[in-house]
Chain A
């Protein structure tokens, strides 16, 4: 259910392999620069490309929150510190009250990297985990939200949404409902997911990683490139007066389940299609009103084929669309929020980013896939996120004016 309450993204920010904060993300998109590089992460020995955020290891958590120290929460903090985002949240909490600001973030693996490393350091006699391992601090999926709430001193309703690669898209739906019901006045939503061995080796085991930088919608696409990101938005009601004319609005959220397979999309993209349709319905929008679609576009043969069918069935083959994963990699549980922020940039600038690495569009795929940047007035955009377990979510954003 997606209630019709107009919400604005009062502030938003993204940190990915394109750089920390909006300015570097914007510059990379304008220059068509990819952040993907050969995998040299930790002890991984895999022939694949990844989108690693530079400088995560140098981030220091406040000493009172040391128990939360792990790569994922360092990335979470790095992301909060960009674009005056932290200050905007603190201002919102001061205005509405700390109990009136919710925190809903998506992640797929939280701080599992710390657990993976701790399992190499089990006590040789007892088999126990090392004493510096903190289950609730890093391992549990709630660690991310717990850390962010405590760091920002927020006390409203909160939770981690864990629906794999649609996690940080679905947080918008949860927050929208609680604001509509007046349980909260504002919500910090977003996603943080960081590189770890579970996903690198896991996607490799499914033969879903490419040995080259991912090429969404290419005839020769052969898998994804794993990335990492922290992306956030501060959601608040659109003020009755003094509404900013160029503010970015959340107009609709659509969700569905595939009910098909744990790790493959429905080949006809029926679940993807119904999520997109639900987002349109919630926003009272028609397919023709959508100026650009940020595709899930992972670069796996099955995802892009199913998504192409879903998009063309609903929109035809004219709507400009692209996947930004050739630039950022697939940030998994943070992908929904990262791409929501990139969509907000598109709405602001009119720059529809051309998908990178795609040399020849698969002739069987019929969408209007952009490989070069295009500039045009953009008023409504859709962003797709589809996860393992068949968890689909589509977000519809627009400009106020």
Chain B
């Protein structure tokens, strides 16, 4: 295969102890200590009030990282195709629906039902920004970060003028939490444009390989990488934070990895 190439225009990050890209980059450069505080989800100010009331944690999470990447790139969301990728979607909402369906009165609320679709974040995003461009929503379990990045870079290689990829996961309440131990909400958004675009933070080159995944030296961060599918992208963020040319190997399916060549 010919490697897929892109230039990175903007980054958004949110997670436990990660409030934004600047704070995350400082931690990954070891300029600031990592403190595993609970993820702080901002209110999605970009949504109309009716949708804002209906938006659960997963929507707030995805919209927050997307907004950060947009602002950094100075991009217009209305003309931007999007790729949303999440392992579990809205776990709180799923829990409530399953509890209701297991009860005597099975009448689930219409809002809960429409929020149950895996592409809910994409739907809210398109409404928030008035974006009518194509959007897809993927799930590849623990490989969801890699699946989203591969899809976005494939869209660029097929002629898209730019693409936003958003990978996001949040924790389930009990009892599902015991069967899927995601500790907290975590998300990464990357705004990608064709290679050699102006204002790029870095150039990325993607290939499918069989190497072992790149790990993180800090045991806390490595635990985070392994416990949240969206955090499988952390080694890429580390490379960006260090502003060092490198190849990182991100988890994908089974023994396949995404080799991401980063040049800054």
Cα-based distance from A157 to B256 in the complex (angstroms) = 9
**What chain A residues lie within 8 Å of B144 (beta carbons)?**
142
Q: Is B140 a contact of A262 with CB atoms below 8 Å?
A: no
Distance (whole angstroms) from the CB of B132 to the closest CB of chain A = 5
Would you call B110 and A116 a contact (CB within 8 A)?
Answer: no
Which chain A residue has the least Cβ–Cβ distance from B113? Answer: A202
Min CB gap A87→B, angstroms: 24
The contact of A389 among B123, B150, B208, by CB within 8 Å, is B123
Q: How far is the CA of A66 from the CA of B179 in the complex (A)?
A: 17
8 Å CB contact of B98 from A99, A115, A146, A161: A115
Q: Judge whether A127 and B175 touch: CB under 8 Å.
A: yes
A250 within 8 A of B: no
CA distance A173 to B154 in the complex (A): 11
Contact B110 A141 (CB under 8 A): no
Q: Which residues of B contact A262 (CB under 8 A)?
A: 51, 54, 114-115, 120, 123-124, 127
Q: Does A1 reach chain B (CB closer than 8 Å)? A: yes
Interface residues of B in 1-18 (CB under 8 A from A): 1-2, 4
Contacts of A17 in B (CB 8 A): none
Measured between alpha carbons, how far is A120 from B129 in the docked complex, in Å?
40
CB contacts (< 8 Å) of A243 on chain B: these are none
Q: B253 at the A/B interface (Cβ < 8 Å)? A: yes
Cβ of A181 within 8 Å of any chain B Cβ, yes or no, is yes
By a CB distance below 8 angstroms, the chain A residues around B179 are 129, 133-135, 139
CB distance from B3 to the nearest CB of A (A): 10
Task: Encode contact with B along A171-209: 1 for CB under 8 Å, 0 otherwise.
Answer: 001100110111100000000000001100111011000
Give complex CA distance A2, B160 in Å. Answer: 9
Interface size class of B (residues with CB under 8 A): 35 or more
Cβ B155 vs Cβ A206 within 8 A: no
* Residues 140-184 of chain A, each 1 if its beta carbon lies under 8 Å from chain B, else 0: 111101100100000101111111100000100110011011110
Q: How far is the CB of A205 from chain B (nearest CB, A)?
A: 5
Residues of chain B lying within 8 A (CB to CB) of residue A390: 123, 126-127
B180 within 8 A of A: yes
In the complex, the answer to whether B116 meets A198 with C-beta atoms within 8 Å is yes
Nearest neighbor of B175 in chain A, beta-carbon distance: A129
Other-chain contact of A3, B87, B117, B140, B159 (Cβ < 8 Å): B159
Q: Is A108 an interface residue (CB 8 A)?
A: yes
Across-interface contacts of B138 in A (CB, < 8 A): 159-162
Q: Is the CB of A202 within 8 A of B140?
A: no
Contacting pair B133 A257 (CB below 8 A) = yes
Whether a CB of chain A sits under 8 angstroms from the CB of B203 is: no
**B49 CB–A CB distance under 8 Å:** no
CB distance from A345 to the nearest CB of B (A): 27
B37 at the interface (CB under 8 A from A): no
A65 within 8 A of B: no
C-alpha spacing A142/B115, complex, angstroms: 19
State whether A158 and B119 are in contact (beta carbons under 8 Å apart), knowing that A127-B174, A177-B155 are contacts in the complex. Answer: no
Interface residues of B in 87-126 (CB under 8 A from A): 87-89, 94, 97-99, 101-102, 106-110, 112-120, 122-124, 126
Q: Is the CB of B126 within 8 A of A119?
A: no
Contact, CB under 8 Å: A161 / B137: yes
The answer, yes or no, to whether A354 is at the interface (CB within 8 Å) is no
Contact yes or no, B101 A198, CB < 8 A? yes
The answer on a CB contact under 8 Å between A177 and B208 is no
User: Is B131 part of the binding interface, using a Cβ–Cβ cutoff of 8 Å?
Assistant: yes
B176 within 8 A of A: yes
CA gap between A44 and B83 in the complex, in Å: 35
Please give, as numbers and ranges, the residues of chain A lying within 8 Å of B150 by CB-CB distance.
157
Q: How far is the CB of A112 from the nearest CB of chain B, in Å? A: 8
Interchain nearest-CB distance for B90 vs A (Å): 12
* A2 nearest in chain B by CB position: B158
| Partner pick for B122 among A1, A134, A146, A163, CB 8 A cutoff | A163
| B233 shortest CB reach to chain A, Å | 16
**Is B254 engaged at the interface, CB distance under 8 Å to the other chain?**
yes
Identify which of residues 209-241 in chain B touch chain A, using a CB-to-CB cut-off of 8 Å.
none
B122 touches A181 (CB 8 A): no
Q: Does B136 contact A (CB under 8 A)?
A: yes
B136 touches A259 (CB 8 A): no
Residues of A within 8 A of B114 (CB): 206, 262-263, 388-389
Q: Does B46 touch A at the CB level, under 8 Å?
A: no
Q: Is the CB of A136 within 8 A of B141?
A: yes
A20 touches B (CB below 8 Å)? no
Q: Would you call B184 an interface residue if the criterion is a C-beta within 8 Å of the partner chain's C-beta atoms?
A: no
Contact of B129 with A142 in the complex, beta carbons under 8 Å:
no
Q: CB distance B141 to A146 under 8 Å?
A: yes
Q: B45 in the interface, Cβ–Cβ < 8 Å?
A: no
A197 to chain B: closest residue by CB: B101
Q: How far is the CA of A155 from the CA of B208 in the complex (A)?
A: 12
A274 (CB) vs chain B CBs: closest residue: B132
Question: Is B42 among interface residues, defined by CB-CB distance under 8 A?
Answer: no
Contact of A387 with B117 at beta-carbon distance under 8 Å, contacts A201-B108, A256-B134 already known: yes
Tell whether B147 is near chain A: CB-to-CB under 8 Å.
Answer: yes
Q: How far is the CA of A160 from the CA of B87 in the complex (A)?
A: 10
Could you list 8 A-B pairs, sorted by A, with CB under 8 Å?
A140-B88, A140-B180, A162-B139, A163-B135, A178-B154, A262-B123, A262-B124, A263-B113
Given contacts A202-B112, A388-B114, A389-B122, 19 further A-B contacts (CB under 8 A): A119-B102, A133-B179, A139-B180, A141-B118, A142-B139, A142-B141, A145-B140, A164-B117, A181-B4, A181-B158, A183-B154, A201-B101, A206-B110, A206-B113, A257-B122, A258-B126, A262-B120, A389-B123, A391-B122
Partner-B contacts on A (CB < 8 A): 1-3, 99, 108, 112, 115-116, 119-120, 122, 127-129, 133-136, 139-143, 145-146, 149, 155, 157-164, 170, 173-174, 177-178, 180-183, 197-198, 201-203, 205-206, 255-263, 270-271, 274, 387-391
Q: Which 8 A-B pairs have the closest CB atoms?
A: A389-B123, A162-B118, A202-B113, A255-B134, A142-B141, A141-B139, A119-B102, A135-B179
